[in-house]
Amino acid sequence: MWPFRKTKSYNWRKEQGRLWNELVPSNGQADTLQGELIRIAGKLTDEAYRNGNMNWDSETEQMWRFIAKKIGSDPVFTSDEQNLIKKKVEEIIRDETCPDLSGDGSPYYIISEKVVDWCMAHPVPIPHEKDPRLKR
């Protein structure tokens, strides 16, 4: 059982900031899977809250699906957590024109927290093969 299942010894928001500073480049995709997951979740959550998803395009959906694919079946999460990740990504995609911006409990915050949890459970950098189709 991973430590964050019962109680976390870290604040996911602080860890997200730390991971962003350490792993996310100033532009383009990250070199590690951890960095890329943090980059996508942070960038797209910011876009939703700051801009109401006004710049949503096919890349946006592709990036959310990338998160679901990479962490949504990982055994670090319980089956309930895996289902929650997949469900919340689908909600984000479904509700692209009217995003849930309620803060804690919103799909964006839930996915961001799960991405941090995944990164904390996988501290050894995993190389990320950059997708040449992504322009942001």
Residue 85 makes CB contacts below 8 A (sequence gap 6+) with 67, 68, 71, 72, 77, 110, 111, 114
Q: Read off the pLDDT of residues 14-65 as tens digits, 9 standing for 90 and up.
A: 999 999 999 999 999 999 999 999 999 999 999 999 999 999 999 999 999 9
The pTM (predicted TM-score) of the whole model is 0.93
Extract the tokens encoding 89: 């990504």
Q: Please report how the helices 107-121 and 33-51 are oriented relative to each other, as an axis angle in degrees rounded to 10.
A: 160
Handedness of CA 94, 28, 25, 77 (dihedral sign): positive
32 forms beta bridges with 127
Per domain, the residue ranges of the chain are: 11-22+31-121
Q: Read off the pLDDT of residues 61-91 as tens digits, 9 standing for 90 and up.
A: 999 999 999 999 999 999 999 999 999 999 9
How long, in residues, is the chain? 136
Residue type (1 letter), 107 = P
Residue 61 makes CB contacts below 8 A (sequence gap 6+) with 93, 96
